[in-house]
DNA sequence: GTCTATAATCAGATAGAC
DNA sequence: GTCTATCTGATTATAGAC
């Protein structure tokens, strides 16, 4: 199994190629089309991964939704695992952009809440890929993916800094290991409670987000 | 798709048959063997469902672990979904037994914590089946399974009563919809944070349980 | 790179002898 | 009911023409 170009960077492969050529900021028309197609593939994959999960999603479905042949898709991504990894890399890129857009002077607790809100909104919008943590093949593919690991580490360090700040300020329980706090926040991205509440149909998306956000930070006991 | 006998009741089919015969409490030796085999199948399925998840588990693996042919397994359970449902019914039966064993005079909050502790211990022990909530075929099989629905409803009503009590006593945030509280508690049975913390290797199982229990009831903010 | 067509594999489910 | 052997269909992945 080899890496597809898109795995090495959040930006599509074709853009990278033109950059290596020392070319201008304007890539060729053909390259733009390829870049757009690759983005379309990843976007469909992301949506289907969110809707059906990795195991239930088939490569045929992704190709059909994009409107290309399956063999063409395999020219871009050498395996289903690599495709899923590309989806994760894309989402991680969006997450990093969001993190960078946050006002730097806000309290650490508010930064953490903003991150969790963003992740939950993405899940409710059907754009958060859900990958089975038990699949060791997929795990291996992710662990060998530099772009994924780099993005995950950068995000984790940024969030980890806020966790330590919040603990120092008494806004987060200082007895909790920071790593446990980080995992608890990340877990909101795949919290089944969101879908259950959505299926119950009694609350709007923003109400669900605030509800789960409250139980996450204040607990069931409440503030 | 038809129901296998074991789906209609938490007790194995063979025991039920002997009961219908008006027979004595002592079933025949042959019936005991069948009952034991069926229990062995469900137990292996439960373990493999916990270890690999529904999609990655194969019926061949279950049969191999029990030491029987796959075709024999299909004499007991008419589909993979029914087998998974039987595993859920078994676990629900254990849960009901645990609920019944709790002292009736304990505070509602303590009852809820005990339930969550029990679920998390089961997961850490590798005996909590993990079923993908997105698989609609599996969902349908569960929803048509009377034993599953009955068991789930009984447990939910019992726990729901404690939730309302705890809210009336101010031990649980009364602003939270009871159904959201119930879902939040149930979600601890498949919380990925447990596995992540276990993989991190820094804490014992009981420490992990108390850690997650604390974040569940007191939140990240802490008590 | 994209396509049609197909290989290769695997897993759920079944047939039929015993 | 259990077994061996097989069917059936779906899915990942590839070959080769254009």
In chain A the domains, ranked by start, together with CATH numbers, are: 79-217 (1.10.357)
Instruction: Name the residue facing A220 among B135, B196, B216 (closest C-beta).
Output: B216
Q: Is A45 exposed, middle or buried (0-12, 13-18, 19+ CB in 10 A)?
A: buried
* CB atoms B183 and A171 under 8 Å: no
**A25 — pLDDT class (breaks 50, 70, 90):** low
Tell me the pLDDT of chain B averaged across its residues. Answer: 90
The more confident residue out of B28 and B131 is: B131
Q: How far is the CA of B69 from the C1' of D6 (A)?
A: 14
The tokens for B152 are: 């789930």
pLDDT of residue A60: 98
Tell me the pLDDT of chain A averaged across its residues. Answer: 90
Interface test with A, best of B180, B216, B217 (most A CBs within 10 A): B180
Percent of chain B with pLDDT strictly greater than 70: 88
Report the residue of chain B nearest A177, measured CA to CA: B211
A132 touches strand D (CB under 7 A): no
pLDDT of residue A4: 29
CA distance A44 to A147: 20
Q: pTM higher than 0.75, yes or no?
A: yes
B154–chain A Cβ distance below 8 A for any pair = no
The angle at the Cα of A151, spanning A145 to A152, to the nearest 5 degrees, equals 90
Per-residue pLDDT tens over the stretch B74-102: 999 999 999 999 999 999 999 999 999 99
3-state helix, strand, coil in chain A (%, to 5): 70, 0, 30
């Amino acid at each position: 199994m080899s890496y597809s170009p898109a795995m090495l960077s959040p930006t599509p492969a074709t853009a990278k190629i033109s950059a290596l050529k020392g070319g201008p900021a304007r890539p060729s028309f053909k390259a733009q089309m390829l870049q757009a197609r690759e983005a379309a593939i990843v976007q469909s994959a992301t949506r289907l991964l969110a809707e059906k999960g990795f195991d239930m999603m088939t490569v045929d479905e992704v190709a059909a939704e994009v409107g290309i042949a399956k063999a063409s898709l395999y020219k871009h991504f050498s395996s289903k695992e690599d495709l899923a990894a590309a989806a994760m890399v894309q989402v991680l890129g969006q997450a990093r952009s969001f993190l960078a857009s946050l006002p730097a002077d806000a309290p650490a607790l508010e930064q953490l809440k903003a991150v969790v809100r963003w992740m939950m909104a993405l899940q409710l919008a059907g754009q958060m890929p859900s990958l089975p943590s038990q699949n060791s093949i997929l795990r291996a593919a992710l662990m060998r993916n530099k772009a994924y690991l780099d993005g995950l580490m950068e995000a984790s360090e940024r969030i980890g800094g806020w966790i330590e700040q919040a603990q120092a300020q008494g806004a987060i329980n200082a007895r909790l290991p920071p790593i446990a706090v980080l995992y608890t926040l990340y877990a909101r991205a795949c919290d089944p409670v969101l879908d259950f509440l959505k299926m119950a149909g009694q609350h709007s998306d923003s109400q669900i987000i605030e509800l789960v956000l409250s139980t996450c930070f204040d607990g069931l006991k409440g503030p």
